[in-house]
Amino acid sequence: MGRRTPGPHLEEDVTAESPAAPEPEVLAAFEAAKGFMPLREGLALYAAASDAAALGLPLLEVGTYCGRSTILLAAAARAAGVTALTVDHHRGSEEQQPGWEYHDPSVVDPEVGLMDTLPAFRRTLFAAGLEEHVVALVGRSPQVAAVWGGQLGFVFIDGGHTDEHAGGDYEGWAPKVAEGGLLVIHDVFPDPADGGQAPYRVHQRALESGAFTEIAVTDSLRVLRRTGTGV
């Protein structure tokens, strides 16, 4: 997760053009949903998804939780006539387990004693009226990536925040970003005082690959466009 309040080391939005904005009812659903993404970053995510949707390819996020950010991707997909895909095992990331900062006992399945955010996610999409624009891929990211053969216009990495999980998300999904498509990474904190470093290391890896060029920064959200081959 990383810290959710922008600190003094975080950069401001550097986009030059006026970005696309979600409809008021979409924004209201986003703000009402359980989750961690701040409004500024949510608006930047929607703008990036709207940009990428013009390619006519699916939009995918890794890390669904209860569907807060999924609302924005689904709305962008609906407007463009494409599909939003969201990947999660729905058992919670390492930071959401009992005893950790982001644990929420209301999303624990009492029968099995494990987190299960899938019902909350479904309720979120139903309340937003966006169910038909989303395909939920329930499973672990590397396994799902291994069987997904198509190209994607947009990949949003916001799953587990260890090097193993963030690196696996990048290795599994970044190769599937089409030419001109966008790779978006959340919780990128260049200064360790602001948050965990695994997403930052993935961000640096993407830049160093020569395959991606950064086009926008909003607090901890980084937007990169595929401008070359490889990962």
Active site residues: 161
Label residue 49 left, alpha or beta by phi (over 0 means left) and psi (-120 to 50 means alpha): alpha
Check if the beta carbon of residue 185 is closer than 8 Å to that of residue 199.
yes
Q: Output the CA torsion sign for 112, 31, 86, 228.
A: negative
The amino acid present at 126, given as its one-letter code, is: F
Structure tokens at 8: 């003094």
Q: What Å distances lie between residue 58 and 69, 189, 207, CA to CA?
A: 15, 28, 23
**Distances 81 to 30, 50, 90, 126 between C-alpha atoms, Å:** 20, 11, 27, 19
Could you give the CA distance from residue 92 to residue 209 in angstroms, rounded to a whole number?
30
